[in-house]
Structure 1
Amino acid sequence: MIKVFNTLTLDKEIFEPLHENIINMYVCGPTVYNYIHIGNARSAIAFDTIRRYFEYRGYDVNYVSNFTDVDDKMIKQAAADGITVPELADKYIAAFNEDTLPLNIKPATVRPRATEHIPEIIDFVQDLVKKGYAYESEGDVYFRAKKFKGYGILAHQDLAEMESNAAGRLDDDELARKEDPMDFAVWKGANGDGAIAWDSPWGAGRPGWHIECSVMSTKYLGNHLDIHGGGIDLAFPHHTNEIAQTEAHTGEKFVEKWLHNGFVTVGDDNEKMSKSLGNFTTLHDMLADIDDPMTLRFFLSTTHYRRPIAYSQKNLDLAARNLERIRTGYRNLQFRLKDAKVGNDLDVEASIDTIVSAYNLAMEDDFNAQNAVAEIYKLVELANVYSQETAVAKATAEQLLQTIADLMMVFGVDGLAQEELLDAQIDALIEERNLARANKEFARSDQIRDELAEQGILLDDTAQGTRWHR
């Protein structure tokens, strides 16, 4: 029985899909005006891990995550770079795909772009206007926030406080165009800037930020979603506004469970990492400095998704050591497959089943990654102990190895197995060993022989030279 923490109710609730064995899940993607930073990567990895666990448990997941490829930030950045907004979007969408590939983030079932859905967005806004939920003002179209009953419930904020904050963020011109400071744009007039715009019943313009996710999520997943996710900073105003405009349009409940991941913090003061604060490092730059991207994936996916992650070199190094501990245990047992006997060790298999049950209990509790990975460490310890036995049962060893690999793949981590050396690599090591022996560097010679033996490569030193076989 899987329980998830619903931001709407601030409570853990039993999760049951609306359609048997199918989960419809939407996660807000990035605005593509720059390389993504580790905070963006954290959200992508958190929900990729949740998706993977659902799939591990046998569910079919329709996973939709968008690209915001037109907004004020993109217009400003494109102008600064001397390119068009579509060119800027193409550049950073390609970068997103390139940078997330080493982190083993699964491709979305659908990865829609806002600019590909302009007709649907216009139809959506027209319906809101027709129903009295939205109004045109000087080329802009605004949603009447207070007309929607229960507006702001996801934010868990006092409406008067939200209204005061909203008024404080508006310039005089925009405040004059609105009926109420709380109203938000679903369509923005071009106002003569000419950067990028589409014809509409209200004149040339472009979508508001919030409207695109409402349109794309309902287009690909239907009016009623199982899960909607994103960073906790999106709960208000973005997701709050999505609820209002979507339910006003469809007349149905929009989302069953709202899931939000925590921030990434940096520095001794645990300051939130964000582009606006200027304290971020792009994932693109980080990957250039990291030898093993799986270390970053392991670090980000094995912290509970709702908790803040303290990013530091110290914590990355700890993750690297823990991942190497898992790989070593896996490979120790993998090596024993070469001399494993036919049959099963029922006591070991019973221990595997017990640990897997505990792992599932942890993940069923709102995807408690820390407790779940603790069970993987128990499997690794079991693998280390079993690999030292005089006789190892092949079926049992294979079951244990497959179980470790399956549970690690929920966290998106692969590469546990020892990669088989190519013949050319073996020949190069033998040549290095021969040179070491000639120079009487016998410690290095023995080290190379032992390294090859660990990977199943045996050496025969003959009068005609060193020969090897697997």
Structure 2
Amino acid sequence: MTLRLYDTATRSMRDFVPREPGKVAIYLCGLTVQSAPHIGHLRSGVNYDVLRRWFLHTGYDVTFIRNVTDIDDKILVKSVEQGRPFWSIAYANEVILAEAYRALNVLPPTYEPRATGHIPEMHQLIQKLIDDGHAYAAGDGSGDVYFDVGSYPEYGALSGQRPDAMQAGGEEAERAKRDPRDFALWKGAKPDEPADAYWPSPWGRGRPGWHIECSAMTWRYLGAEFDIHGGGLDLTFPHHENELAQSRAAGLPFARYWVHHALLNLGEAKMSKSLGNVIDLDHVAELGIRPVELRYYLLAPHYRSRIDYSDEALREAAVAYRRVEGFVQRAAERVGAGAVGEVPAGFVAAMNDDLNTSGALAFVHEETRDGNTGLAGGDDETVRTALGRVRAMLGILGVDPLDPQWSGAERTGDLRDVIDSLVALALEQRAQARARKDWAAADAVRDQLKHAGVVVEDTPQGPRWTIGEQD
């Protein structure tokens, strides 16, 4: 069965046909690290991690590039406001972002290039565009270089906008543009910006424009043509439109498919630091939501469906995940973890239908119900089959409860072992109370643990405990 993806460029579903058989090259527009990430940023990482995992599951050799934009107008504004070097701000936030991705079990990219490491490639592309008549150096001595939108007739095809109806993007001062729609490839030095945020160039001291960065990095790591370009829907215009125009104008075939995920909204607007309406990981932790539950929440809707955030919706997703997790844990205690099983055909069909994770999860919950029926009826073979299938599906989605990522034992700073010892002491006290038939004392221990967020369940193999609500 062939994977079908919705391609923004053609506005249609298309069968995925790789440039090279058995291989897929993906470029995901990473973050501009002017501040710490919020969960809207992390949706992108999770969604494309699931896409990557699906390709790996179906046998592809995947090259996955996710860049870091570490030089940008917003970072320079922060640098001036805080009196810190721009690179210090960028790196500090990059470290936080990397830890957030690790916490959510997002696989590390094949390469993670920084924009500041690819100035020579940017210069090469800009010079080629100038030589071919698609770009020009400003005539005012500013050092700016602009892409000539009027020289590229297909401009606007990706976003569906008409060039004659477009306004200036507003990302840089007009200075010496020939046309308000033209965008900066290279930005000359400005007196009100940090003195260390510049590089020498054939056009004078300056720094790259936002759009040329990604074109240079895709060219460097994936070549002239690659399979999939990903990013948020909000990047379609102007960022991706400009990337496409300058790359094609430079003679690069560029991306074969454009895949955009929908946004995560808070209220009526997208989650954005600039708007001051963000939910960060600290808030999620204060709600008692674990990273695995946040990942489940972010991947559960179809990637092209907008998420309207609320604390209640996040809690509901966590409860849904805990039901599946509870089955996996009980089944593993009953029949052993064993090897993961076959992936049900319905799950495969859903994932091949434009990565329909919402539809795929329906089969996870169906197998979970069958497994719970087997547990209740003592049917170990049913339990074993359901457990293998559920773990296979959850593994593809990156949320298998038995994955060491979520066990806590291998994560530095995790308190699972400490909590386990403390709960074991409490359960020993409860067992002693039950042995002497002091039911009130035994119930009191259980209630105290529940009040602390620890749910105790009596099983044929002895008491087991979990964090969270028991359903």
TM-score normalized by the length of structure 2: 0.85
Native 8 Å contact 2:372 2:383 kept in 1 = no
SS at match of 2:13: strand
Change over 3 Å in CA distance of 1:117–1:284 after alignment to 2:
farther
Q: Where do 1:114-153 residues align within 5 Å?
A: 114-137=115-138, 138-153=142-157
Deviates more, 1:288-297 or 1:21-30: 288-297
- Look up the match of 1:66: 67
Native 8 Å contact 2:430 2:446 kept in 1 = no
Deviates more, 1:127-136 or 1:11-20: 127-136
SS at match of 1:117: helix
- Look up the match of 1:343: none
Q: For 1:302, give the aligned amino acid.
A: A
Distance in 1 between residues matched to 2:24 and 2:304, nearest whole Å: 20
Deviation track 1:105-124 (CA, whole Å, cap 9, x = no partner) reads 11111110001111121122
Distance in 2 between residues matched to 1:219 and 1:202, nearest whole Å: 22
Deviates more, 1:431-440 or 1:79-88: 431-440
Q: For 2:190, give the aligned amino acid.
A: N
Change over 3 Å in CA distance of 1:43–1:390 after alignment to 2:
closer
| C-alpha displacement of 1:175 | 3.1
Correspondent of 2:277 among 273, 276, 279: 279
- Structure 1 or 2: more helix by fraction: 1
- Look up the match of 1:400: 386
Correspondent of 1:326 among 315, 324, 327: 324
Change over 3 Å in CA distance of 1:74–1:427 after alignment to 2:
same
Deviation track 1:32-59 (CA, whole Å, cap 9, x = no partner) reads 0101122211111111111111112121
Indicate yes or no: 2:243 matched with 1:242: yes
Q: For 1:456, give the aligned amino acid.
A: Q
- Look up the match of 1:309: 307
Q: For 2:168, give the aligned amino acid.
A: A
- Look up the match of 2:461: 456
| C-alpha displacement of 1:356 | 0.9
Native 8 Å contact 2:232 2:263 kept in 1 = yes
- Look up the match of 2:83: 82
- Look up the match of 1:101: 102
Deviates more, 1:131-140 or 1:287-296: 287-296
Count of residues paired in the alignment: 437
| C-alpha displacement of 1:397 | 4.4
Distance in 1 between residues matched to 2:213 and 2:463, nearest whole Å: 61
Distance in 2 between residues matched to 1:367 and 1:458, nearest whole Å: 39
| C-alpha displacement of 1:284 | 4.8
Q: For 2:31, give the aligned amino acid.
A: P
Distance in 2 between residues matched to 1:97 and 1:454, nearest whole Å: 39
Indicate yes or no: 2:410 matched with 1:411: no
Cα RMSD of the aligned pairs, angstroms, is 2.9
Distance in 1 between residues matched to 2:460 and 2:228, nearest whole Å: 45
| C-alpha displacement of 1:445 | 6.5
| C-alpha displacement of 1:428 | 4.6
Q: For 1:454, give the aligned amino acid.
A: T
Distance in 2 between residues matched to 1:190 and 1:115, nearest whole Å: 16
Q: Gapped runs of 5+ residues in structure 1?
A: 341-348, 460-470
SS at match of 2:344: helix
Indicate yes or no: 2:268 matched with 1:263: no
Indicate yes or no: 2:149 matched with 1:158: no
Distance in 2 between residues matched to 1:263 and 1:439, nearest whole Å: 52
Indicate yes or no: 2:292 matched with 1:253: no
Deviation track 1:170-211 (CA, whole Å, cap 9, x = no partner) reads 88xx43501111111010001334241001111110010000
Native 8 Å contact 1:231 1:263 kept in 2 = yes
Native 8 Å contact 2:289 2:318 kept in 1 = no
Deviation track 1:330-383 (CA, whole Å, cap 9, x = no partner) reads 23322321699xxxxxxxx9xx86x71011111111011111100111110111
SS at match of 2:400: coil
Q: Where do 1:275-424 residues align within 5 Å?
A: 275-287=273-285, 289-337=287-335, 356-393=344-381, 397-416=383-402
- Look up the match of 2:92: 91
- Look up the match of 1:466: none
Distance in 2 between residues matched to 1:240 and 1:276, nearest whole Å: 23
Deviates more, 1:35-44 or 1:227-236: 35-44
| C-alpha displacement of 1:74 | 0.6
Deviation track 1:113-155 (CA, whole Å, cap 9, x = no partner) reads 0011111211221121122211111300101112113011011
Change over 3 Å in CA distance of 1:72–1:284 after alignment to 2:
farther
Native 8 Å contact 2:456 2:463 kept in 1 = no
Larger Rg: 1
Native 8 Å contact 1:64 1:111 kept in 2 = yes
- Look up the match of 1:224: 225
Native 8 Å contact 1:117 1:216 kept in 2 = yes
Distance in 1 between residues matched to 2:48 and 2:179, nearest whole Å: 35
Q: Gapped runs of 5+ residues in structure 2?
A: 410-416, 450-454, 465-471
Distance in 1 between residues matched to 2:446 and 2:57, nearest whole Å: 43
TM-score normalized by the length of structure 1: 0.86
- Look up the match of 2:190: 191
Q: For 1:292, give the aligned amino acid.
A: R
Distance in 1 between residues matched to 2:206 and 2:54, nearest whole Å: 41
- Look up the match of 1:7: 8
SS at match of 1:229: strand
Distance in 1 between residues matched to 2:360 and 2:456, nearest whole Å: 32
Native 8 Å contact 1:379 1:404 kept in 2 = yes
> Which is bigger in relative contact order (C-alpha 8 A, separation at least 6)?
1
| C-alpha displacement of 1:261 | 0.6
| C-alpha displacement of 1:314 | 1.6
Distance in 1 between residues matched to 2:361 and 2:396, nearest whole Å: 10
| C-alpha displacement of 1:247 | 1.3
Q: For 1:101, give the aligned amino acid.
A: R
Native 8 Å contact 1:99 1:284 kept in 2 = no
Q: For 1:131, give the aligned amino acid.
A: D
SS at match of 1:315: helix
| C-alpha displacement of 1:452 | 7.3
SS at match of 1:384: helix
